[in-house]
Amino acid sequence: MPRVAIIGGGISGLTLAYRLRQYLADADVQILESENSVGGKIASFKDQGFLYESGPNGFLDSNPSTYNLSKELGLSGQLTPANDAAAKNRFLLMGGKLRLLPSSLLGLLTTDILSWRAKLSLAFERFKGKKSNLSDESIYAFAQRRVGTEIADKLVDPFVTGIFAGDARFVSYQAGFPRLAAMEKNYGSISKGLKAARKARLNTNPEGGRSSGQLWSFNQGLGTLTDALAEKCGKSNIKQFRVINLIQNNAENKWIIEGSNGESESFDIAILACPAFSQAAILKNLDEILADKIASIPYNSLAVVVMGFRSGDVPIPLEGFGYLTPSSENRAILGVQWCSSIYRGRAPAGTVLLRAMCGGASRPEMVDLDDDSIAKIVYRELQASMEIQAPPCFLKVVRWKNAIPQYMVNHLEKVKEIEASLANHPGLYLTGNAYKGISINDCVENAENLAVQISRWWSRAKETKS
């Protein structure tokens, strides 16, 4: 019976443990988590009738990995879709005013957000051809090359802010936006790629549907998913244990895991599912070169400011997902989600729930401010952008130091180097959102693929021993 250690109990570690218990039925799978609860950055809280997320707020079914996992876990009845208005209406804060972001190519060609020069550049994108070489570049440079600087500034910049809380001038388009990279490579342009994707979708589903998929959460928040996974993995198999070192015992083909409390345990397989900077610290004594490569993956920090208001104190209609702020606007916050408009049951009757994002690449100093200072800044921003007329009746500030890994230009090359170094340590694996996608769907899909890889490796290892 193999003993398997999964270091880190976020969505990646929990999904991996769940699948390994299926694929290696006789395995002793242990989750070692440094915190006193699992779930990582996925956490849902209910307070004074408000239901809020401290981390991610949903997942799309365009990649069905999380949706299918939820159904498999028996959570179908607890799934809740985003409201239609939230799916259709997203806004940009431009010139101090909220502007509806067009949701289609036709809308982009008719909106007054863009100049006629930008619209011409967009219309002629299909004729520009693909890049002559396969070298990586930033998503900003990619957009600038294909559709011009204005669209890169007004649309792509806030889009990257919404996903990575990062700087579009440094985030890799190949690693961060592989679908766009594939469209250019396979079709020569993004507009041609979108047309082909739309045609394929209609062939699969003649009734159409959203091109970007339906956004989902759960009636009681995303914590429902991680709680269900923890239950399936078995609470007795989850241990609060802060790992500080990993030792490879080649003589016995074992991994010795040492904890901060002086304890150590022996395992046949060791998997690091914690953040990259934690993985690097654990691996420092084992393989300094590998650890340094992992440590070079940077992270941005975020402060999440949750505010509840009486409905009458918010004069504008909250019919949409929320808004993002282009960095050229030089505002103090990255954007605001209208949580009670996205999902039902997020706020008591007569109130609304908002969630502002602060910090990131553009304002890292925000995260270090005290709660009162952050709240005052956010409130002033909401007064200006949404005409809010009274202070919040509910307030929570959540800080995430090293919240989101940043896929800088040539990130995929770095991942290849890490994987090559990892091959020197049979039975050691890495996973998490630092490598091949930061979304919940990416984490679930990558963990499930890794479970298959590990089970096959163990089967071969058993055959070799026998």
Q: What is the pLDDT of residues 212-244, one digit of tens each?
A: 689 999 999 999 999 999 999 999 999 999 999
* Superfamily of domain 114-204 in the CATH hierarchy: protoporphyrinogen ix oxidase, domain 3 (1.10.3110.10)
Distance of CA 420 to the CA centre of its chain: 25
CA dihedral 210, 78, 24, 264 (to 10 degrees): 110
Structural domain boundaries in the chain? 3-36+222-297+408-465, 44-64+71-85+299-405, 114-204
Q: Among 77-91, 118-132, 243-257, which is the least confidently predicted range?
A: 118-132
Task: Identify the pLDDT of residue 99.
Answer: 95
Alpha-carbon span 139 to 163, nearest angstrom: 12
175: enclosing H helix or E strand: helix 173-176
Task: Identify the pLDDT of residue 102.
Answer: 87
pLDDT confidence of 457, banded at 50, 70, 90? very high
- CA distances (Å), origin 57, targets 47, 99, 224, 235: 17, 23, 12, 25
pLDDT digits (tens, 9 = 90+) for 343-399: 999 999 999 999 999 999 999 999 999 999 999 999 999 999 999 999 999 999 999
CATH architecture of 44-64+71-85+299-405: Alpha-Beta Complex (3.90)
Alpha-carbon span 142 to 389, nearest angstrom: 41
Collapse the DSSP code of 260 into the 3-class scheme (helix H, G, I; strand E, B; otherwise coil) and give the result. coil
Tokens coding 210: 């959203």
Q: Which of 163, 285, 233, 196 is nearest to 15 (CA)?
A: 233
286: enclosing H helix or E strand: none
The reply to whether CATH 3.50.50.60 applies to domain 3-36+222-297+408-465 is yes
* pLDDT greater than 60 at residue 207: no
Alpha-carbon span 147 to 297, nearest angstrom: 29
Q: Which whole number is the average pLDDT over 197-219?
A: 74
Task: Identify the pLDDT of residue 465.
Answer: 66
The amino acid that residue 412 corresponds to is L
Q: What is the mean pLDDT of the chain?
A: 94
Report the percentage of the chain scoring pLDDT > 90.
Answer: 86
* pLDDT greater than 60 at residue 210: no
pLDDT digits (tens, 9 = 90+) for 6-49: 999 999 999 999 999 999 989 999 999 999 999 999 999 999 99
Alpha-carbon span 110 to 366, nearest angstrom: 37
User: Starting at the edge strand that comes first in sequence, how are the strands of the sheet with 264-267 ordered?
Assistant: 243-249, 254-259, 264-267
Q: Write down the pTM of the prediction.
A: 0.94
Task: Identify the pLDDT of residue 1.
Answer: 83
